[in-house]
Chains A and B, each alone.
Chain A
């Protein structure tokens, strides 16, 4: 991707060190969500956080994004710039329905303080990357669920952050559309120098997508498995090797219920 000349995206390592998070409840109790979590995501890595629903994966994402701070432990986003930017893709597209696709991308660019001269070229680049350039001036409500999620992906890519955090982005799509988007996401990741952290509760999806799977237990979440996935790409979702990895992750989870 040529736009990297103007704003080089450097590889960013994410270091999660002994992180715990507690919330205090009204009746003087506290709710422990994360317990002593440690793992490292290599620069330009694609890591999946796998865990049961409600285990605190989203909390961990917010901590990494800096939207919240841990009770103890530290999270470091390490790169040469000393300052890593983060972009989000959520489970729902979360688009502004009253703005066109193009304007939705502008919203992210403006919010993140990207210089105005770059907006149009970035929008064109990333909309064509997700295959939606023809729909730039359409309103989100005229798009399908899969297309909306592509717009959300383009919005996150366009700010050219060092890290992209994705919180179960394909879980509310039908399986056919989800497969298509997973394949596209891997293609995009291979051409961009980004670190991606992808939260999912689907072990097969994790095995298909990632270089590394970090398995989290139920709440309070702790790391119960950390695997490097070195199956060559392009991968097939019904590959038996992926099924084996998926089974191992499920066994990890079952042991810790």
Chain B
């Protein structure tokens, strides 16, 4: 057998290649943000301060919000609403998605409901929820659940249709039990789609949450944005808006990307082929 360890050398060159491109990715991401901020700064010179404030003004206000701790009191409420709603939406979606994948009748039954669910105008349902539940946490949870669930199912189920049936055939040929096929073949193949659906669902969840807070609740980031709006403070509105965006990006890069890297460590290219939808 002529195969020797030689090709590890090429795989470590591949490793270097991946590392440098990854660093390259960080470079271009930073560059993109800086270019955007620079264009904003230039544009702000041509407008009134009350219309488009300078980058520095907003940054200073975000800093005040962060350092006084006021921001995080509101953030805690918002994140709780996001994650509670998301947790139920995501759990139901993954279970239902797998069930739809396994059973054609179930798939046909839920397909139209999912498509209808995606088409519901978010704002419309939020108002219905406010009428039903009033100024209450339940309004936020229900809105997130109802609006995010069809999106997560759709995303997960479309992705999971691409699953490799060859591997299941292989497992059957080796007489693997159903449990083994589920645990060793199906679930690991679903992981990338579960992650993509999580990212997609999370972004839908926080958008809905902020909207509910803005319309009906008396705490949270959305509520504070509304309050700043009542005071006609564009600096305040933007500071809360971008302050929250920074936190969501930290969750994306700090938590989701880490889980993703860990769950797909077997990929030789470490490049993530999923749509990034945040």
A: residues with CB less than 8 A from B are 65, 67, 86-88, 90, 92, 94, 96-100, 107-108, 110-113, 130-132, 134-135, 138-144, 147, 150, 159, 180, 184
Counted as pairs of residues, one from A and one from B, with CB atoms less than 8 Å apart, the total is 78
CB contacts (< 8 Å) of B182 on chain A: these are none
Count of chain B residues with a beta carbon within 8 Å of a chain A beta carbon: 30
B166 lies within 8 A of A94 (CB): yes
Q: Would you call B267 an interface residue if the criterion is a C-beta within 8 Å of the partner chain's C-beta atoms?
A: yes
CA–CA, A244 and B46, complex, Å: 86
Residue in contact with B170 in the complex, picked from A88, A134, A142, A159, CB distance below 8 Å: A88
Q: Would you call B177 an interface residue if the criterion is a C-beta within 8 Å of the partner chain's C-beta atoms?
A: yes
CB contacts (< 8 Å) of A142 on chain B: these are 11, 14, 268
Residue in contact with B174 in the complex, picked from A97, A111, A135, A184, CB distance below 8 Å: A111
Residue in contact with A98 in the complex, picked from B169, B173, B176, B188, CB distance below 8 Å: B188
CA–CA, A96 and B175, complex, Å: 16
Q: How far is the CB of B183 from chain A (nearest CB, A)?
A: 11
Q: How far is the CB of A143 from chain B (nearest CB, A)?
A: 8
**Top 9 A-B pairs ranked by shortest CB distance?**
A131-B1, A111-B176, A141-B268, A111-B174, A94-B170, A88-B173, A139-B266, A131-B3, A142-B268
Residue in contact with A111 in the complex, picked from B8, B177, B267, CB distance below 8 Å: B177
Residue in contact with A184 in the complex, picked from B1, B171, B185, B264, CB distance below 8 Å: B1
Q: How far is the CB of B112 from chain A (nearest CB, A)?
A: 24
Given A96-B184, A142-B11; A134-B5 close (CB under 8 Å): yes
CB contacts (< 8 Å) of B11 on chain A: these are 138, 142
A112 lies within 8 A of B174 (CB): yes
The contact string, 1 if C-beta is below 8 Å from chain A, for chain B 152-172, is 000000000000001101111
CA–CA, A138 and B176, complex, Å: 23
Q: Would you call B2 an interface residue if the criterion is a C-beta within 8 Å of the partner chain's C-beta atoms?
A: yes
Closest to A187 in B: B1
CA–CA, A96 and B173, complex, Å: 14
Given A111-B176, A144-B7; A131-B268 close (CB under 8 Å): no
CB contacts (< 8 Å) of A159 on chain B: these are 174
Q: Would you call B180 an interface residue if the criterion is a C-beta within 8 Å of the partner chain's C-beta atoms?
A: yes
Closest to B2 in A: A180
